[in-house]
Amino acid sequence: MTSVRLDRRRFVADLVGLLPEDTLLVTGLGSPGYDVFAAGDRPGTYYLWGAMGAAVPLALGLALARPDRPVVAVTGDGEHLMGIGTLATIGAQLPPNLTVVVLDNAHFGETGMQPSHTGLGTDLVSVARGFGIHDALRITDLAQTEDLARRVEARAATTYAQVLIDTTEPPRALPPRDGVANKNAFRASLGLTTF
């Protein structure tokens, strides 16, 4: 596996800036949420706080419920590994409007930078393909960001992107921690009643 690692904050900012306005975003806990929020809070973003392993399953449910909208999960390798079995269901369903973006620094960044399985030999692209997700790619160059955004917009196939990022920790940009307010804002972006 290549040793090239991208700046996480820049990659996320570039990707979010290129996504269609109607994209539904689900962030994993910690850094993915901070990075998406730092790129500019936008309607249709659901920030998970403390639900380790839940970003990809939630995004899958949204993609199945809202086939008219592109859905993107932005998560980290540690959080994603906690719910890796969801890829089996994604591989069985293959919603064409779902994109899973895994920011992989090969560490459990939120719990003390212990090496994650990806730093110990697990190849996430091979894992995704093994679960039946054929459009699985590894991103090691910022120039690949535009191609990924085009795949999101096209909604032609379930896409899985492992993004190799470095371990730098930019200043935290914390999204709102009010769960009810986050839920209501997200429901409103879907045109649903809030309560």
81, two tokens:
């590994």
For residue 169, indicate whether it is catalytic: no
Instruction: Work out whether strand 45-47 and strand 71-76 pair parallel, antiparallel, or are unpaired.
Output: unpaired
Range list of β-strands (E), the chain: 24-27, 45-47, 71-76, 98-104, 107-108, 114-115, 135-139, 159-164
With beta carbons less than 8 A apart as the criterion, state whether 45 and 59 touch.
Answer: no
Catalytic residue from among 21, 79, 110, 153: 110
**CA-based torsion, 167, 172, 176, 177: positive or negative:** positive
Polymer length in residues for the chain: 195
- Which active-site residues does the annotation give? 110
